[in-house]
Amino acid sequence: MKPFLDTADLKEIDRWLKTGLLDGITTNPTILKNAGVTEPMTAWKQIVELIRKYTPIPISLSVEVFSDSPDEMLKQAKSFVNELDYEGTTIKIPILGTDGTDRLAVIRELAQQEIAVNCTACITWFQAFAAAKAGAKYVSLLYRRIMDTGLDGSAEIRKTRELIDQYRLPSEIIVGSIRKKNDVLRAYEAGAHIVTIPTKFLPELLMNKMSVKTQKQFLKDAGVLKE
Ligand code: E4P
């Protein structure tokens, strides 16, 4: 089970990298906008600096292209990889363009150039399977967005995982679009290799009243805490 953080908030990234919990970080244009980022490359470089500060492992950092055109996506992907100069750079390519045509050839070309791709905005198992066949290192199934279409998020994850395992595809499923604490567990149970978690759910996932009660009892018995 590999937890990623779904944010561009530097304070939160710093706070959670320190814990050793994270195996990756994902961003997208909406996340950057919500974090008040105006210069994405500067923000990504700051994230890389934090990663290097806290871990020797080049954990994955997903950065998304800002274009709809296949040629421009390829150009941006290569320039992001060069400019970031970070081993964990992962380029997010959406499965479809705004006209509904697929971006599988873009994924394939980047994969052939050994650029790690995270194919994002996958809603169905077939989209995710196709992206994995094209060579995406990661396929992102967006849990709550899947549910918004009336499909079952867990079923789409389960089927994708079955196919990845059956064909021994070297791709991992990232589940994003987490809107409830329990979505994390559902995603793992359905077969996600990775869940990318918005920061606010991590304290909720860690919280348990009995742990707090236990610590209180220990401190009382140690004479450190009064009644
Ligand atoms: C992550 O990689 C996705 O871009 C993100 O989780 C989407 O989340 P949302 O559906 O809440 O926008």
Domains and CATH numbers, the chain: 2-221 (3.20.20.70)
State if pTM tops 0.95.
Answer: yes
Query: Does the beta carbon of 196 lie inside 6 Å of ligand 1?
Result: yes
Among the atoms of ligand 1, which is closest to the Cα of residue 64?
4
For residue 22, name the pLDDT band (cuts at 50, 70, 90): very high
The Å distance, Cα 105 to ligand 1 centre, comes to 23
In contact, 195 and 24? CB cutoff 8 Å: no
In contact, 105 and 119? CB cutoff 8 Å: no
Q: Whose CA is nearest to atom 7 of ligand 1?
A: 177
Question: Cβ contacts of residue 22 below 8 Å, gap of 6+?
Answer: 3, 4, 5, 16, 59
Distance from C-alpha of 15 to C-alpha of 220, rounded to nearest angstrom: 29
Instruction: Determine the average pLDDT of the residues in 171-194.
Output: 98
> What is the pLDDT at residue 63?
98
Query: Does the beta carbon of 60 lie inside 6 Å of ligand 1?
Result: no
Among residues 92, 200, 209, 220, the one annotated as catalytic is 92
Average pLDDT, the chain: 98
